[in-house]
Chain A
């Protein structure tokens, strides 16, 4: 079983090929390169280095968001087009669960955080004691609102993600010694991790690929305003 994994849902780029439970090639970069410039050349490199052909892939895993709208869309568009034209199943994994999975050996609650600007975050919290079960649902939160939810859990929380440092002072101020910072080696998404999570799921029907869309976890601003106006009338 050969998997291709792609995550471009935030500024890092992660791609990998995994064959029968072994990483064959993997690339990760956090160099703020536009994904439209970086993603397909990285995928091309994976195939060149492994001397594989696209048609040899059996399934594709993709980071489905939340995160940068444009970033998520580039990864999803590439993944769904490859899956459709190669007639292979496509599995989407939450980009927050993907980060949390990096710290899965930690015993307790893990919170993955992605900056959503203006003191807002995309975040999710997972408990590792029984697999990765969600304790704070993936979503778009104010930092303050998220930290209140985490404080209410009244347990130590490990924070993971390359954006955590932006909020670390606020996190410490709210959670005190319940705030645990994951080592930086766990902060970037890993496409082999993505494949590991995807391979635990049942493979969807290949026809389902057309309806595959990003999980934005947020309405477009114009749509949110429009709905507000409709309610006002």
Chain B
């Protein structure tokens, strides 16, 4: 986007859609100046998952601290900024509202423009922090709340070509982890266990209709539960490593195959992965190998930019800022917000 930026742009990003309170300053939409994340994961572990009310309470405790730290690490003052970008949705509404109201108050007090950013647009734009995005582009977005294939013909243009019809991939990981009595958050543990095993229980692959880019993971989750019940009833010992590998193999094969088919059909120049589950080593390896063979450039951000962070919100916010997008002081949290193009 260098050609239409005349001067350096510094955007403050704020993110609080789930259990991370985060603030970051990004220069020109592509360079991280500071990136601060206060994770609540330790607090939620005792409940076996994120409790929305607890998350909201922690966000209020952390929000001014993380913004202050983001400014301090960047050695910048509010007047050095060009705008404030904040996650508007989707997410936990009570959690979103803390980041949004802090962003509004900060923008108002310092006379800065305010930009509401879609959380998934943020995950996709985490890639802009690593290398320029080349269009047409295909994004596989996989996280605890999302499993989507998004086609982009240019910056700010999003076409949803496939999504999960039931559980998100990350949700399936957490549920299977619970079945295997693995502590929350289970995704990284399953990934590690799958790597430690050479043998896999054979679980089904859910392809849906032949031409569909949609996903379904609830049947796979049920298959894991049934396998464990059957084994227990017959007195056969369940090897959790074999179950983890079998489950991960199924998820990774379906995600990779559908992404490859879409990349071919839409003739894209770049494929990117985004979201918390794109930190999964098995998935990264499979996508890297597949697209290396195919000759299509594939990128996935480093781990700390796959999980929720504010640098990705600032990055997406910068491109929205350049496109003239602004929000006002009446911005509300939008838990079910849809990903809408900002370039018509």
Contact = CB atoms under 8 A, between A and B. Distances in A.
Contacts of A78: 101-102, 104-105
In the A-B complex, the 8 residue pairs with the closest CB atoms: A81-B105, A40-B329, A220-B53, A222-B51, A77-B101, A84-B64, A81-B102, A54-B109
B199 interface: no
Contact of A36 (B46, B51, B109, B333): B333
10 contacts: A36-B333, A40-B105, A43-B329, A69-B94, A73-B98, A77-B102, A78-B104, A81-B102, A82-B105, A84-B67
B6 interface: no
A213 B57 CA distance: 8
A74 B108 contact: no
B64 A222 contact: no
B106 A81 contact: yes
B53 A77 contact: no
A221 B110 contact: no
A36 B100 contact: yes
B51 A81 contact: no
A116 interface: no
A200 interface: no
A44 interface: yes
B65 interface: yes
A167 interface: no
A210 to B, nearest CB: 5
B330 interface: yes
A222 B47 contact: yes
Contact of B60 (A39, A214, A220): A214
A220 B57 contact: yes
A38 B105 CA distance: 13
B162 interface: no
A62 B54 CA distance: 22
A152 interface: no
Contact of A85 (B109, B331, B332): B109
Contacts of B331: 36
Contacts of B338: none
Contacts of A36: 97, 100-101, 331-333
B24 interface: no
Given A84-B64, A209-B64, A220 B109 contact: no
Interface in B273-330: 328-330
Contacts of B127: none
A81 B53 CA distance: 20
Nearest to B44: A222
Interface in B65-98: 65, 67-68, 78, 93-94, 97-98
A40 B101 contact: yes
A40 B108 contact: yes
Interface string A37-56: 11111011000000000110
Nearest to B114: A40
Contacts of B329: 40-41, 43-44
Interface string A205-230: 00001110110100011110010000
Contact of B94 (A41, A70, A76, A211): A70
A119 interface: no
Interface string B117-142: 00000000000000000000000000
B109 to A, nearest CB: 5
B61 interface: yes
A116 B46 CA distance: 27
Interface string A20-44: 0000000000000010111111011
